[in-house]
Every structure is written in structure tokens, then in C-alpha cells.
Amino acid sequence: MSRPQKEFNVELWEPSTSLGRAVKEGRITSISQILRAGNPIKEVEVVDALVPNLEERVLGVSLVQRMHKSGRRVKYKVVVVVGNRDGVVGVGQGSTREISSSIRKAVNNAKLNLIEVVRGCGSWECGCGRPHSVPFKVTGKRGSARVTIIPAPRGLGIAAAEVPRTILRMAGIKDAWTRSEGQTRTTLNFAFATIEALRQTTQATLREQFREHVHVGNTGETNE
């Protein structure tokens, strides 16, 4: 079950980077300004201040055991996705000896690796022009896992396995077909392959006739 992040008080925040100071001083007012400029985010508070409606959801938990000279050591490895269901999403991993701290570490890593997603209506069966799907077919790869996201008509929903379906929903995509290949049982690779596919929506060169049908970041639409 997804949950919204706790309320963040900007006034109590003491930034440690120039980017953080620019956010607190009001010189940067949108996460899009940072992501489009390609500036690395090194403070979680930057995301907390600019994306207050960010939600988080655990994609997978695994137990890792290692033998040490002092005995067996056990750690929990957690993969988490965060998103605002409106064009911003990120995936992260955390590993500690406790589940709660592993989740928090994974959430923080996901916030530091946010991407912005271009949405549109790329399905020839639809043509509604609304940002409910991806504007064109995209493919991402991580390790042996490969994920392809294909535009779908409005109302279809997301035809995908649990991991990519959750990530697409958190990104604000409501309709899509997907195709998965390789070792998809590895949650981390499966998740990052999906993220890499979504990243392609911003890196591909759009034809002039398609540009008016895509939407980047917040659209102001409700996610009913």
C-alpha cells in the first residue's frame, strides 16, 4: 500500500548544498527546473520541499545472509518506488539490518534518483490527445531484464506485471501495454529496466507533429 510522505517544514531546514539553498531561498520553485537542467540532487530535503505530494511503495524485500568471522550477518534488501502520480517517479534500494531503516534508506535513494516522464497519447487506436499513456514505444534494459512500454488506448489500464505496473501508476501513466524479457525475478533490475524505459520518453527526439500531444511533469489532471 502506498503512503504519502510526512509533512516537511522548509523553515527548519538548513541546506548543505548550493542547490538546496536555491530551493529554500525560492530561486528554484519546481522539481522540473532541476531535472531538466540535469543537476544532481544530493539532499533529500530538496525533493521534500518541491514535491510535497510524493508517495512511496515497497516493490520487494529480500533477505541477504553473509558469513563473517564473527558469525552470520543478516541484512534486509528493500526496493522502493516513489512518485507523485503526475510525471515524476524514482526507484531506489536500501540494505540494513532492520526492515524499517532499509525502507527509509531505499526511499531516500529513490528521491535522489527522480526522473521526469513525458506522457501523451501515442496509440493509433485512441488519438484523444490526453496524457494518459506514453507518446511512443520505449524500451529499457538493466542486467538481463528488458522492459518495453507500448502506448495503449484510453480505458485499457496497464497490462503489466506487478513491478512495472506499480512504477507506471506512480509515474501517472494510466494506460499501457508492456513486454518483459530476461530475468525479471530480480526485482531491482526489473524496476530499473522500467525506469530506463520511462527515461527514454524524455531523451527521444520527437517529430514536429507529435510535440503538441506530449506532456512533461505536472498536468493538473486528477488521477481518477
122 and 160 assigned to the same domain = yes
The rounded average pLDDT for each run of 10 residues, N- to C-terminus, in the chain (224 residues) is 63 90 92 90 94 93 82 89 95 94 96 94 84 93 95 94 96 95 91 96 59 53 47
- Residue 224 maps to a domain: no
Residue 171 is predicted with a pLDDT of: 96
152 and 106 assigned to the same domain = no
**pTM confidence score:** 0.86
The residue among 50, 68, 86 that closes a domain is 50
The residue among 81, 116, 151 that closes a domain is 116
98 and 133 assigned to the same domain = no
103 and 151 assigned to the same domain = no
> Which of 143, 142, 126, 146 is closest to 134 using CA atoms?
126
84 and 124 assigned to the same domain = no
Say how far residue 27 (Cα) sits from the centre of its chain. 25
Residue 6 is predicted with a pLDDT of: 63
Say how far residue 175 (Cα) sits from the centre of its chain. 16
Residue 16 is predicted with a pLDDT of: 92
168 and 86 assigned to the same domain = no
Residue 218 is predicted with a pLDDT of: 58
43 and 59 assigned to the same domain = no
132 and 208 assigned to the same domain = yes
How many structural domains does the chain have?
A: 3
Residue 223 is predicted with a pLDDT of: 45
93 and 131 assigned to the same domain = no
Range of the domain at 25: 3-50
Residue 214 is predicted with a pLDDT of: 54
Query: Tell me, what CATH number does 145's domain have?
Result: 3.30.230.10
Query: Tell me, what CATH number does 89's domain have?
Result: 3.30.160.20
HSE (side-chain half, CA atoms, 13 Å) at 121: 15
The residue among 77, 97, 116 that closes a domain is 116
Residue 128 is predicted with a pLDDT of: 83
Nearest-angstrom CA–CA distance, 162 and 178: 11
3-class DSSP state of 189: helix
Residue 69 is predicted with a pLDDT of: 74
Strand 158-159 versus strand 176-181 pairing type: parallel
Residue 209 is predicted with a pLDDT of: 44
Residue 5 is predicted with a pLDDT of: 55
Residue 122 is predicted with a pLDDT of: 85
Residue 208 is predicted with a pLDDT of: 43
- Residue 64 maps to a domain: yes
124 and 212 assigned to the same domain = yes
